[in-house]
Amino acid sequence: MPKISRRAARRSGQEERLQRVSSASSPATQRSGSPQEIEEERLQRVSTLSSSGSPQEFFQSLIRPLDLQEFFQRFWERQPLVLHRSDAALAGYYGSLFPLSGLRRLCARGLQYGTDINTCRCVRGQKRLLNRAGAVDFCLLERDFLEKKATIQFHQPQRFQDELWRIQERLECFFGCLVGSNVYITPAGAQGLPPHYDDVEVLILQLEGQKHWRLYEPTVPLAREYSLEPEGRIGAPTHDFILQAGDLLYFPRGTIHQADTPAGAGHSTHLTLSTYQNMSWGDLLLDLMPGCVFDRMKTDCELRTGLPRGLLTTPSISPAVSHQLSVFLRRLADVVDQQGQSLRSSSMRRDFISHRLPPFLQDPQLLQPVGGAPALQDTVSLRFKDHLLLTVEPSPDHTDEATELLVYVLHSLRNRRDTHMMMGASDEDEDDEESQVGGLRFPLSHLEALQQLLVSDRVPVEDLQLQQEDKLNLLLALWSEGLLRVTGALENHH
């Protein structure tokens, strides 16, 4: 879903830089120590990738031997990165994520063209869609793959492959936003998509075979939309290289790219992980401004004065109105900067928590309440903190009284894996926002106690910053939702 690059005037210097990055990041040139130590480090990297680990540890293992600080300072949103790895264990792990040999089994699950799978081919710089109608028949899919040189694009494979569910759930915890994926299987001597750029940050894992990539100078850096780019406009590639099984490629949104499988090389399978769609400062401003203005109107009488007569029927905004709006915006900026006004997200946080993957738990019983119900003498802790957030929002209940603010505990414990990142999968429920988000709501007076639970590993119930009569009601609600664990009696804490 995503990509990035730089133009022909600086081509040679950038190709040289990519080469330096590739070689400096290769296991053979970065590691030092005895052969036994090198082998132990290599096996540890594969083990961390294939085990749970923290979200940060997982991402660090994904880009190793590069460290996190260098990645985000040098490459993130700035330039492509390719990591070439001559590592049989890592290549074997990548290859197990979505082997071509497993496609027949998946097709037996009633996959549909257009929804689950696209077949396509790049012909003279244009994408030609080769989809059939209805359900996917593996034998016909295989025929199109071999005879028509069709690329198979598998949408959101984490819905079916457990290890991809685990990987993307870890990445969503790490980035704090949605992570989607596609698998591309391309026969030898073929190309699926024409040159284009996307609106997401992209990580490419080469799973099987090899893929020839060309990256170009972006025409729209950090683009906010997908677009095709004609060959005559993009110039010469700034980067030109081949990924082998076990290799990783990253490029920022807006990077123009195209990829093909070399002739005589067998098929290529790669996984595209995409993230940071609509996650810019501009998107945050669009999200925060409604709540900021709403709160300020309570105390700023000028914001409540009426608009000039006929403003909505005039063809354009007059200079006087533009000036008045700029005065209000400066005043809002001063309030946020100097008085530390609390800013409230109106939709971004809810959108993430309601559409992200559920925790990677193959036994759904683990989501149920654990142990006994909490008591006043207990010490407690929150479960699934990576899948939980607090938000303060106006009450949805319409009354004649002043708007009441409530604190919400939102979580993704019961989100649906089978509809993750599938557009339109739950359209029929979109008008009922609360039905899309798991969670609880409490009076604003409970906010401090909830923040205590969120930032602490263990909290004695008696230490909660809440009225005594409200403590058990709060804890019982969290425990019943599967969000609370009793970690011991009070005397054990002290």
Question: Please, which pLDDT band fits residue 292 given cuts at 50, 70 and 90?
Answer: confident
Tokens of 490: 């009070």
* pLDDT above 70 as % of the chain: 84
Least confident among 200-204, 212-216, 230-234:
230-234
Tokens of 193: 């998509």
Residue 440, beta-bridge partner list: 409
* pLDDT above 90 as % of the chain: 71
Mapped onto helix, strand or coil, the DSSP state of residue 3 is: coil
Arithmetic mean of pLDDT over the chain: 87
- Taking only the tens place, the pLDDT of each residue in 84-115 is 998 899 999 999 999 999 999 999 999 999 99
Residue 245 has what pLDDT?
96
Tokens of 442: 């409490």
- Taking only the tens place, the pLDDT of each residue in 348-394 is 999 999 999 999 987 888 999 988 899 999 999 999 999 999 988 88
Please answer whether residues 150 and 144 qualify as being in contact, where contact means their C-beta atoms are separated by less than 8 angstroms: yes
Residue 379, beta-bridge partner list: 460, 488
Tokens of 79: 């330039």
Contact partners, residue 443, CB within 8 Å, separation at least 6? 406, 407
pLDDT score of 61 more than 90: yes
This prediction has a pTM of 0.87
Number of H helices, E strands in the chain: 16, 19
* Residue 142: its H or E element: helix 138-147
Least confident among 183-187, 242-246, 339-343, 440-444:
339-343
Kindly report the number of other CB atoms within 10 A of residue 197's CB atom: 30
CA distances from 295 to 208, 257, 298, 398, 460 (A): 54, 45, 6, 17, 35
Q: Is the torsion defined by CA of 414, 420, 421, 427 positive or negative?
A: negative
CA distances from 133 to 26, 137, 151, 153 (A): 45, 10, 17, 16
In angstroms, the CA 304 to CA 125 distance is 55
Please answer whether residues 416 and 490 qualify as being in contact, where contact means their C-beta atoms are separated by less than 8 angstroms: no
In angstroms, the CA 271 to CA 95 distance is 10
Residue 150 has what pLDDT?
98
CA distances from 1 to 71, 133, 237 (A): 21, 24, 20
Please answer whether residues 374 and 472 qualify as being in contact, where contact means their C-beta atoms are separated by less than 8 angstroms: yes
In angstroms, the CA 57 to CA 63 distance is 10
- Give the relative orientation of helices 162-175 and 88-97 as an angle to the nearest 10 degrees: 100
DSSP-derived secondary structure letter, 190? B
pLDDT score of 481 more than 50: yes
- Whether the link from the prior residue into 65 is cis, omega within 30° of 0, is yes
The DSSP string of 314-360 is: SSS--HHHHHHHHHHHHHHHHHHHHH-PPP--SSHHHHHHHHSPPP-
pLDDT score of 198 more than 70: yes
- Taking only the tens place, the pLDDT of each residue in 412-452 is 999 999 999 997 654 444 444 444 578 899 999 999 999 99
